[in-house]
Structure 1
Amino acid sequence: LLGVFTLYVDAGHQYRDEEAEALQDFAAAMATVIRTSRLQQDKALADIILENSSHGIIITDRENRIRWVNRAFEQVTGYSAGEVYGKTPRILASGRHGTDFYQSMWQKIRQTGYWQGEIQNRRKNGEIYPEFLNIVALKDENGQVQRYAGLFVDLTEIRRAEERIHRLAYFDTLTGLPNRVRFMDELGGLLKRARTAERVQRVIVLLIDLDHFNEINNALGREAGDALLRETARRLAKALDGCLLSRVERDQFLVAVAVPDDGTDIAAFSSGLVGRIRAALEPAFLLHGQELALQATIGLVAWDGDERDTEEELLSRANLALLDAKCCNRGGEAVFDEVLGREAEYDHHIVLNIRHVVERRELHLVYQPQVDSSGYLVGAEALLRWQSPDRGLIPPDRFIPHAEKRGVIGVIGHWVFEQALEQLTRWQGDGIFAPETFKLSVNLSPAQLIGQDVAESFARICEERGIAPSSLVIEITETAIMQASDVIRGKIEELSAAGFRIAIDDFGTGHSSLSRLHAFPIDTFKIDRGFISPIESGGKHLAIVKSMIAMAHELGQTVVAEGVENEHQFAILRNLGCEYYQGYWFAKPMAAHDLEHFHGSRKSPVSGIIVK
């Protein structure tokens, strides 16, 4: 219903046929006017919407000649409406799509009346840009195409944003090199291609660690450190053209390359790679006007085509080789081999089982005697052992670091203290050892020292068992003392205040200053075995030990010499005034009942030699 036409006439008037027909014609004419007005209004509204749409719009006739474009079209393409009127959309062609592309597009439009997809077009200034385009065929009531309408969105900014996100996700922002994620993806592809080659290729992975980078960064500042990394990346990229290169850590780079399958010797090829790396880093780096020499330690693994190996496993092996090189050949290189593989497997077993050793009762204590200058037993050090049912005896220096890293050192340390105290309680209760003449030493790791209220905990256990804390010596490494944090100092002071005696273990390995040591409540210094072994040669080795003993006495502390292995060493140390001794010359670590037998055996009051 468009409207109502109302006519007022005199009462009783009868319409003649010609009057009724005229009125009907007039009503039809008015309806046409109303319809036309509304269509014009709708068209004007549609024109406003289309003209101001953020999407580019193009209308062509059935011959594909442009008849209308909106403002967004002009903004995106750079062409005005007048410049494109009467032309075909080929004016926008980028040349990036072949004839097959356009034939497929128009075939789809003829079949379905519709096409959509991404296309590359060219602006008036020649710039090629991506757009997402929809094309619709507009047909009349008879199904004949009268117009084509195209609606498109410029994807340039979207693609730029995607590229920025991609670079952030897969590339190092400082050097522009691929990051670890990208490297691992590319390494996976390299391994796949190597496996499917006509002859399985070998792949070499190298992990490069810049020596002393942290010291350089701290001394010259982060800006200089960043400049050094950028220049290092530039040199490596130039020297290793054709290789996968990545920066994976602050000062570490990864390299991977397939070895040609033409009979190339892999050892010679690897050596050549290492040589190229060292040649690239050899020229001095210029930072803040200073010339700086830079060395690198390299871990290397060669993949031999084993289908079971993954890229993660290769990287792990390269890292193991790097750690081996840093330990034994700083500034050099190491190659992963079967020995390192067994070591890695050994450590993996430790990592998997370290959390369960207490509950599985796989730990036990042994005791190494400590004697005075007359050879009489004055104490013992409780030493932890792990008897694995699968791996046999695992030494503490292998599993303690893993226990610290995985946060179980507190549980293990508490077990050690309780077991040692239980044994000491039994010894004192049976009258085997008197608290005045026998001290039991227990080791305390830095992580355990920081991680719990050890003084209160240990004192409570002693009170429950009726043991005086003065019967126990808490051994703390010099490395922990060197940290000199308020927390460490406070913990040691609490232990001393609770009555425990404090010994510095491995003294001499940490190069502590006299003033720093004086600030701690230390009772005993234990000189590391590394200083004891060479004293028989005299010279500086003897002088160092002599000065250590003198310093300890100056501070009012007693001295225990660790690692005494023969009578000559014992005699020298005794002449230097060392009070106590520990080492294989007297006895190896032993079970509790063997220590009781050791105590009961006869000892010479002159030489210290145990008569058994």
Structure 2
Amino acid sequence: MNLRFGLQAKFLAMMVVALLVVLALIALLLNRQERMQREVLGVSRQAMTEMVTDNLRRHNEGMVGQLAESLANPLYYFDLDQIGVLSRATLRNPGISYVIVYDNDGNVLHDGSEEIPSYGKRMDDAMAYEVIAARKLHTQWGESVMDVSAPIMIGAERLGGVRVGYDLKTMRQFQEQALSDLRGRLDALGQRHMIWIGLLGVGLLALGALMVYLIQRFLVQPIRQLAEASMEIEAGHFDTNTPPSKRHDEVGDLMRAFGRMSQSLSRHDRDIRRMAYTDALTGLANRLAFRESLDQRLLQLRGAGRQLALLFADIDDFKRVNDTLGHDAGDDVLLQFANRIQETVTRLGGEDALLARFGGDEFVILVQDDEGHEQGVRARASHLADVLVAELGQPIVVHDRQVFLGTSIGVTLFPEDASGATALMKNGDIAMYQAKVAGKNCYRFYSRAMDQAVERRVHLEHELRGAWDRGELSLVYQPVYRLGDGAMVGAEALLRWRHPEQGLVAPSVFIDVAEQSGLIETLGPQVLRAACQDAVRWQHVRPAASEPLFVSVNVSPRQLRSGDLPNVVAACLHDTGLAAHNLHLELTETAVIGDEIHASNLLARLRSTGVKVWLDDFGTGFSGLSHLRRVPVDGVKIDRSFIADVLRDPDDLALTTAIIAMAHSLGITVVAEGVEKEGQYAVLRERGCDLAQGYWLGHPVGADEFMTLLG
């Protein structure tokens, strides 16, 4: 049996020998012991406090900094839903007391809750003044909380900030418990020591010097070594090697445990760094890693006369995949996109190319010119973007279904467009947005004019919010006539915006802004309800024997994708009292093409209630007449571009005739829009077209003026 000669036995043996020799040194030894305990506690308390406090501060500042970067785009577009998602995700982390997102004036925009009871209220707590005034990462310490705040920036513009409160109670309880345990162990050792000294103290005089040496050798020196190692760890050197020990006592156990703790911290630090710099889903570099690489590249290239290009790639209509197929399918799509992009970048981007996922469905690529290579960075970026658009436009198979998405790419150049990383990333995002505005599935190079266009669009979006409540938006109605007898049978509701300063804003402009920003999901139900209310008024002024007029309302692709359209329509019909067959919903053909199964199911639910569904701008989509067999509709509206040339272009006349014949064979009503000449009206009636609208028949008029047409 291997007996363990522990620390207590060593002290006992030393005191038995010392008691016979140096009794006179008892008082000195006791004093030395007390000082040693105070030194150990002091060093331990200081090391523990500094290590825990500094690590906690750096960890929390890093987390808040990343959160501020993640909130930049949502706050820029005032996307409270996305701000709430990020705030709640942070609030769920252990030890976090609160998360507050605020604007530049210190007004609360989100607090991570569902109801946001503090929305719009100014922060007035004791730390709020410094938080609002801070223009960079700022940390404050309270009695029980560490408050870390960071500004939310878009380029050099400060949009607001985010502050996170971390509860210090747990840290302090842990620290005090650890110190209490250490004090208890030292007190226990001291008490036992004093007992043996009291019994054998007479002999300690002769061996006092030996006792000092032994204590220094077996206790103070190891603790000092551990304190030095802890300071290295506190400085961030987690892989510090602690002194090896072959001792089989408590100090030896402590030194070995400290060594294992150092190795564990080093391993966790490597894991955390890998997680911090790697996208968990795709394994690509993330936003933080890309930004650091970009900053480093710019330092190397600045003044060297070399160029680089940033390509921002965003998947078109990716939200539709999550909404219709689920988030698992969305993750599968992201992985397939990431693999395609990586293969293309590896093949065409050059040795120094870097690919990263910025989060969501956005990827960013860095390419630079090679020394001695004839191809410039603009040509390389253009070729790479061309190939990426083609590759990513190919169908993706997800859950045994083919999905067509495509990508929009924005390209910006250094130093031509900007010399700093922040400005380059902003320019790339602007160029990518312009690619989406240009029709998606394409790429655009950044130009200075884009900044002005984005500013105008953001200003227009801001003005559009609340325009309905301010009475700036209104409905006009264009009559629809039956060609057989010339009777008015209904009207199309059209939205108009009379801006107090700009006058009438073109529908093509503000409807696109509403669609891109998501405001259409608020405006759409408001327009639908107002149109139904006006249609009910029409029935009251018409003679009782007259045929009830229908009202047709345009529905945006975004409303169709949300899946809540049948419920919205049912609520409007119930609240206004309009009969379902007097409501016609118009959808563009391209809105239905994206996901025929989802659209068909949705339209079938609408038609089952009696609501009529028309396909607007028919003939301009990609599928043509074959679409009518798969999508349940009651009518089609021939696009005005065909009607305009029906009198002089035989091809348009033949196509219009074919559309009418094909639709009638399927039992579908045909409506011609854009009838501006009597000859067009006559040709359409001759070809059997059912209904028509246009300036020759009647201009769009306000609700009151339309009522006079019915009298």
Q: Which amino acid aligns with 1:577?
A: G
1:116 aligns with 2:229: yes
Distance in 2 between the 1:588 and 1:313 partners?
Answer: 44
- Using the TM superposition, name which of 357-366 and 232-241 deviates more: 232-241
Q: 2:289: which partner in 1?
A: 182
Distance in 1 between the 2:480 and 2:449 partners?
Answer: 36
Q: Could you tell me how far 1:228 is from its partner in structure 2?
A: 8.1
Q: Kindly provide the CA deviation profile for residues 127-154 of structure 1, in whole angstroms up to 9, marking residues without a partner as x.
A: xx94343799xxxxxxxxxxxx987626
1:162 aligns with 2:162: no
Q: 1:356: which partner in 2?
A: 466
Q: 2:667: which partner in 1?
A: 556
In the TM superposition, what are the counterparts of 1:448-597 in structure 2 within 5 Å? 450-451=564-565, 453-463=567-577, 470-478=581-589, 479-480=591-592, 482=596, 483-494=598-609, 496=610, 500-508=611-619, 509=621, 511=624, 513-517=627-631, 522=634, 524-533=635-644, 535-536=646-647, 538=649, 541-592=652-703, 594-595=705-706
In the TM superposition, what are the counterparts of 1:234-383 in structure 2 within 5 Å? 236-237=345-346, 239-248=349-358, 253-256=363-366, 269-275=377-383, 298-302=409-413, 304-305=417-418, 310=423, 312-324=425-437, 327=440, 330=441, 333-373=443-483, 377-383=488-494
Q: Could you tell me how far 1:236 is from its partner in structure 2?
A: 2.2
The structure-2 alpha-carbon separation of the partners of 1:274 and 1:486, relative to structure 1 and needing over 3 Å to count, comes to: closer
What is the SS of the residue equivalent to 2:229?
strand
Distance in 1 between the 2:475 and 2:407 partners?
Answer: 42
Q: Which amino acid aligns with 2:701?
A: M
The structure-2 alpha-carbon separation of the partners of 1:162 and 1:393, relative to structure 1 and needing over 3 Å to count, comes to: farther
The structure-2 alpha-carbon separation of the partners of 1:421 and 1:248, relative to structure 1 and needing over 3 Å to count, comes to: closer
Q: Which amino acid aligns with 1:163?
A: R
Conserved 8 A contact 1:363-1:385: yes
Q: How many residues align?
A: 450
Higher RCO (CA < 8 A, seq sep 6+): 2
Conserved 8 A contact 2:474-2:496: yes
What is the SS of the residue equivalent to 2:494?
strand
Distance in 2 between the 1:363 and 1:356 partners?
Answer: 9
Q: 2:310: which partner in 1?
A: 205
What runs of 5+ residues in structure 1 fail to find an aligned partner? 1-28, 37-108, 121-128, 137-148, 288-294, 601-612
Residue of 112, 118, 131 corresponding to 2:240:
131
Conserved 8 A contact 2:410-2:429: no
Conserved 8 A contact 1:300-1:322: no
Conserved 8 A contact 2:287-2:357: yes
Q: Could you tell me how far 1:577 is from its partner in structure 2?
A: 0.6
The structure-2 alpha-carbon separation of the partners of 1:130 and 1:525, relative to structure 1 and needing over 3 Å to count, comes to: closer
In the TM superposition, what are the counterparts of 1:12-161 in structure 2 within 5 Å? 32=16, 115-116=228-229, 130-133=239-242, 153=259, 155-156=262-263, 158-161=265-268
Conserved 8 A contact 1:190-1:258: no
1:436 aligns with 2:547: yes
Q: Could you tell me how far 1:361 is from its partner in structure 2?
A: 1.7
The structure-2 alpha-carbon separation of the partners of 1:456 and 1:424, relative to structure 1 and needing over 3 Å to count, comes to: closer
Q: Could you tell me how far 1:543 is from its partner in structure 2?
A: 3.7
Q: 2:523: which partner in 1?
A: 412
The structure-2 alpha-carbon separation of the partners of 1:435 and 1:503, relative to structure 1 and needing over 3 Å to count, comes to: farther
Q: Kindly provide the CA deviation profile for residues 311-369 of structure 1, in whole angstroms up to 9, marking residues without a partner as x.
A: 55234213224425653xx5x64212244334423432354354422222221011223
Q: 2:214: which partner in 1?
A: none
Q: Could you tell me how far 1:462 is from its partner in structure 2?
A: 3.9
Q: Which has the higher strand share?
A: 1
The structure-2 alpha-carbon separation of the partners of 1:227 and 1:308, relative to structure 1 and needing over 3 Å to count, comes to: closer
What runs of 5+ residues in structure 2 fail to find an aligned partner? 1-12, 21-220, 246-253, 397-405
Conserved 8 A contact 1:207-1:322: no
What is the SS of the residue equivalent to 1:347?
helix
Using structure 1 for the length normalisation, give the TM-score: 0.57
Distance in 2 between the 1:412 and 1:212 partners?
Answer: 21
Q: 2:86: which partner in 1?
A: none
Larger Rg: 1
Distance in 2 between the 1:158 and 1:579 partners?
Answer: 78
What is the SS of the residue equivalent to 2:259?
strand
Using structure 2 for the length normalisation, give the TM-score: 0.50
What is the SS of the residue equivalent to 2:242?
strand
The structure-2 alpha-carbon separation of the partners of 1:349 and 1:432, relative to structure 1 and needing over 3 Å to count, comes to: farther
Q: Which amino acid aligns with 2:432?
A: N
Q: Which has the higher helix share?
A: 2
Q: Could you tell me how far 1:396 is from its partner in structure 2?
A: 4.3
Q: Kindly provide the CA deviation profile for residues 495-528 of structure 1, in whole angstroms up to 9, marking residues without a partner as x.
A: x1xxx554343344364644445x56x3x33223
The structure-2 alpha-carbon separation of the partners of 1:228 and 1:333, relative to structure 1 and needing over 3 Å to count, comes to: closer
Distance in 2 between the 1:572 and 1:350 partners?
Answer: 42
Conserved 8 A contact 2:539-2:548: no
The structure-2 alpha-carbon separation of the partners of 1:372 and 1:160, relative to structure 1 and needing over 3 Å to count, comes to: same
Conserved 8 A contact 1:386-1:393: yes
Q: 2:278: which partner in 1?
A: 171
The structure-2 alpha-carbon separation of the partners of 1:380 and 1:281, relative to structure 1 and needing over 3 Å to count, comes to: closer
Q: Which amino acid aligns with 2:643?
A: I
Distance in 1 between the 2:581 and 2:341 partners?
Answer: 57
Distance in 1 between the 2:556 and 2:382 partners?
Answer: 39
The structure-2 alpha-carbon separation of the partners of 1:320 and 1:438, relative to structure 1 and needing over 3 Å to count, comes to: same
Distance in 2 between the 1:280 and 1:442 partners?
Answer: 38
Q: Which amino acid aligns with 1:246?
A: A
Q: Which amino acid aligns with 1:319?
A: M
Q: Kindly provide the CA deviation profile for residues 432-485 of structure 1, in whole angstroms up to 9, marking residues without a partner as x.
A: 99851643323344627724634543333443xxx6555544434454594345
The structure-2 alpha-carbon separation of the partners of 1:232 and 1:429, relative to structure 1 and needing over 3 Å to count, comes to: closer
Q: 2:499: which partner in 1?
A: 388
Q: Which amino acid aligns with 1:345?
A: E
Distance in 2 between the 1:319 and 1:504 partners?
Answer: 31
Distance in 1 between the 2:501 and 2:569 partners?
Answer: 36
Distance in 1 between the 2:566 and 2:316 partners?
Answer: 35
The structure-2 alpha-carbon separation of the partners of 1:419 and 1:302, relative to structure 1 and needing over 3 Å to count, comes to: same
The structure-2 alpha-carbon separation of the partners of 1:426 and 1:308, relative to structure 1 and needing over 3 Å to count, comes to: farther
The structure-2 alpha-carbon separation of the partners of 1:281 and 1:581, relative to structure 1 and needing over 3 Å to count, comes to: closer
Q: Could you tell me how far 1:384 is from its partner in structure 2?
A: 0.9
Conserved 8 A contact 2:312-2:362: yes
Distance in 2 between the 1:544 and 1:175 partners?
Answer: 48
Distance in 1 between the 2:464 and 2:313 partners?
Answer: 31
Distance in 1 between the 2:454 and 2:283 partners?
Answer: 33
Q: Could you tell me how far 1:486 is from its partner in structure 2?
A: 3.8
What is the SS of the residue equivalent to 1:574?
helix
Distance in 2 between the 1:376 and 1:359 partners?
Answer: 35
